[in-house]
Amino acid sequence: MGILNVTPDSFSDGGRFVEVDQALAQTEQMLAAGADIIDIGGESTRPGADAVSVDQEIDRVVPVIELLKSRFDTIVSIDTSKAAVMRASAAAGVGLINDVRALREPGAMDAAVSLGLPVCLMHMLGEPRTMQTAPQYTDVVSEVADFLKERLEKCRSSGLDAGQLLIDPGFGFGKTLSHNVELLRNLSKLTDIAPVLIGLSRKSMIGQMLENDQQDRTVGSVTAALLCVQQGASVVRVHDVAETAAALKILNAVKNG
């Protein structure tokens, strides 16, 4: 899964034409490098990020989804927690809902049920603006697993098809470095529950593990993605698609003899 942010700070110039050109160029590059899904987000989920309104988010993502669906034969996913954005994105052609709040926002579960699209349910402790302020767990792996099991059950009882659901531990979302490392080391406990999507790409945990926040994070991100796939992760959300695809080719070649 390749990442395409359409927040204003994601483009080198705020102008609409530059945004469209860059979105097309980035998508073309990611697809050529082997991405199967392009994840589009109109609201930053970085620590400290401010919320945006429903209308703003729809205005940012829907034209890009329509454009990508008209130009490329690919699955587009929408990174949102808002019911109205899910509905507008589905009408524009998305094939997956990527919700960092696991369908807990008002109306989100109903929207997902009525749209019938696959959903990725992510674990997050707190909210993006404050989530990195001293997050605490007694046992991060079992607490994240229990949360995801509870959300899977809620989805199933609300009418979502179990075969359409992915789970995600939410690396960096309300977690310290040691929580993230613990989750990475024990990812196979989650892949036993349901298909897992992971996102570690270029996150600060990678910079922290490299013990140098200024260093390029590509190699660290690719290595972490590989460790996740080795433990059974099904989908990796990455910026460096070509590098990750090359590493996964080696892994598959070794696995398949």
Chain residues in the site for ligand 9MG (CB under 6 A): 41, 45, 79, 98, 100, 120, 122, 168, 170-171, 197, 199, 237
Residues with catalytic function: 203, 237
Q: Shortest Cβ distance from residue 64 to ligand 9MG (Å)?
A: 15
CB 121 within 8 A of CB 144: no
**Closest residue by Cα to residue 123 from 96, 141, 97:** 141
Our CB check for ligand 9MG shows the closer of 90 and 122 to be 122
User: Starting from the edge strand earliest in sequence, which strands make up the sheet with 119-122, in order?
Assistant: 2-5, 37-41, 75-79, 96-99, 119-122, 165-168
Work out how close the CB of 242 gets to ligand 9MG at its nearest, in angstroms, rounded to a whole number: 20
Which residue is closest to ligand 9MG by CB? Answer: 199
Q: How many CB atoms lie within 10 A of CB 55?
A: 11
Give the shortest CB-122-to-ligand 9MG separation in angstroms: 4
Q: Please, which residue, 130 or 250, has the CB nearer to ligand 9MG?
A: 130
Say if CB 166 and CB 194 are below 8 A apart: yes
The least CB distance from residue 254 to ligand 9MG, in Å, is 26
In 58-111, at which residue ranges do the beta strands (DSSP E only) sit? 75-79, 96-99
Identify the CA nearest to 72 among candidates 28, 35, 30. Answer: 28
| Complex with ligand 9MG: residue 92 or 124, whichever CB lies closer | 124
C-beta of 111 vs 166, nearer to ligand 9MG = 166
